[in-house]
Amino acid sequence: MKRKRYRYIGCGLCDIDNPIRYFRLLGGNQISSMSISTFIRIEIPDDMELEKYSYDNYSTVQSEIKLRDLNPKVVYYNRKRHKYMIHENLTEIWAKGEIQPCDFFKYIDKEEYKRG
């Protein structure tokens, strides 16, 4: 079985029903160097080809597959644990179209965020 491939979307406005081709996709090794604390993580199917140019630090695809169909998850940086973690409740809220990624920290309980 092949290892799952993931990419991350760091833009502040993204709708779960947008096609994946609308977004710049970051690799996991790139998100740690960014100042963004929340991302949308998606699974890249084995048959989806990523396009990457040597002068860009992101990939793109030409697919019309919607984010909803790529098992999206809200990922945030937990400062106490010093790692990125999936936040299931925010993923559900975002999937309903009620918030955008740039607003995630308004919904994360500050004590939960500190505890990790």
* pLDDT tens digits for range 34-91: 666 778 889 999 999 999 888 788 899 999 999 889 988 888 777 777 888 887 777 7
Q: What is the pLDDT of residue 78?
A: 74
Cα–Cα distance, 103 to 116 (Å, whole number)? 19
Cα first-last separation, the chain = 32
Ranges of each domain in the chain:
5-115
Mean pLDDT of 93-107: 63
Residue 74 contacts residue 90 (beta carbons within 8 Å): yes
- Residue type for position 113: Y
Residue 16 backbone dihedrals phi, psi, to 5 degrees: -65, -15
- Residue type for position 83: K
Q: What is the pLDDT of residue 116?
A: 46
* 3 state SS of 95: helix
> Vertex 55, ends 69 and 11: CA angle to 5°?
40
pTM: 0.76
Q: What is the pLDDT of residue 108?
A: 57
Q: What is the pLDDT of residue 103?
A: 62
Residue 71 backbone dihedrals phi, psi, to 5 degrees: 50, 60
Q: What is the pLDDT of residue 109?
A: 55
Residue 73 contacts residue 86 (beta carbons within 8 Å): yes
* 3 state SS of 97: coil
